[in-house]
Amino acid sequence: MLRFVSLLITLCLLGSCAARPGAEVLQAVNTRVASGKSITAYVVSTREREPGKTLAFGDGRAETPNYARFEISIPPDHQKGKIEWPSRKSDPQKNFVVTDRDMLPKDAFKRDLADILTSGKDVGLFVHGYNYSYQEALFRATQMAADADINGIPVVFSWPSMANVTGYVADKEAATYSRDALADLLIDLAQKSPRKNVIVFGHSMGAWLVMEALRELRLKGRNDVIAKLQVVLAAPDIDTDVFRKQIEVVGRLNPPLAVLVSKDDRALMAASILAGERDRVGALDVNDPKIRTAAKREGVQFIDISELDSSDGLNHDRYAALAALLPKLDEKRRGGGNDLGRAGAFVLDAVGATVSSPFQLASKVVNPN
């Protein structure tokens, strides 16, 4: 009964958020702030374009992926970890604002991608989770790219989530529908990359989708693709037994697969109830000796981020604050610290020695070496 009540409370929190942004935020505004930052972001989506609308994508499933490029202006007083959504009218002084956008044919997307990767820039691929819209995924990836302040370009893989709290089962099926398209995108990214500079960041149900795509690539013998990737899973909504089976096929990654966990993640608590009381990987306790032993055996780094602030009331979006740490880590890397290249994306063993609380808890990283 207590678990059922917790589920009801969690669903109420999910459904009682402030009004969510509609497709109107994707409309371009021909203005930007001179002192603000501008981010170029790409979207690869298996969502179907909504008929009769200039640029809107719902939960329809596209036969083939579509591609888009956005220029997004960041307000000068942007607060790290947050997205300053427009309320009624977009104001580049106060809000994230799209200043330019283009739908792209696949060939143009691939040419842009090749230019970016061969120029030495990193690509950060963000795969969103359950209950996300197209625009929410785009702006979240943009926020993390802006906060990280590194020489890279965000790419969003947007699968056809219903963006509705009641759509958990439908979202899982939509993610499954998109598995092949994500694997194909990873192949494209790896083929265009001259080095290991493709960061793959999967959140929640998107982490399950990432693992499924990696599993597919390994089964197809595409070790060359996997070798170019640096993979991080944030609050993964994956059954622990399923994860173990995925790891058996995917094998060890280099750098190691990094998994961000919070044992008080209420969204994953709800997911566990919906899944018949099955534990989720993103809510594991890194202090459990069994978890530490299994992590060392499988070559996985578990990183507890429970002390980070959460803005969603569910402790499920803590990952959004991590990007702000990257500039400090990059400073140390430029200073000669060679340990900072290992996890490559947002979190590293050396965090505890680099930044004060709450990242001191990164000493709980399970080091597979």
Q: Which of 320, 363, 341 is nearest to 148 (CA)?
A: 320
**What's the burial of 116, exposed, middle or buried (CB within 10 Å: 0-12/13-18/19+)?**
buried
Q: Which two tokens stand for residue 63?
A: 């036969």
Provide the 10 A C-beta neighbour count for residue 79: 11
What the chain holds in terms of domains, given with CATH numbers, is 2-364 (3.40.50.1820)
Q: Tokens 């739908």: give the residue.
A: 103
Contact 49, 8 (CB under 8 A): no
CA dihedral 280, 262, 43, 20 (to 10 degrees): 100
User: pLDDT digit of tens for each residue in the chain (369 aa)?
Assistant: 445 445 444 555 554 445 789 999 999 988 777 777 899 999 999 999 988 766 899 999 999 999 999 999 999 999 988 999 987 788 899 999 999 999 999 999 999 999 999 888 889 999 999 999 999 999 999 999 998 877 789 999 999 999 998 899 999 999 999 999 999 999 999 999 887 778 899 999 999 999 999 999 999 999 999 999 989 899 999 999 999 999 999 999 988 898 989 888 889 988 888 888 788 999 988 888 888 888 888 888 888 888 777 777 787 888 887 776 655 544 544 444 433 333 333 333 323 322 222 222 233 333 333
Which pTM value belongs to this model? Answer: 0.86
CA triple 305-306-310, angle to 5 deg: 95
* Cβ burial, residue 66 (10 Å; 0-12/13-18/19+): buried
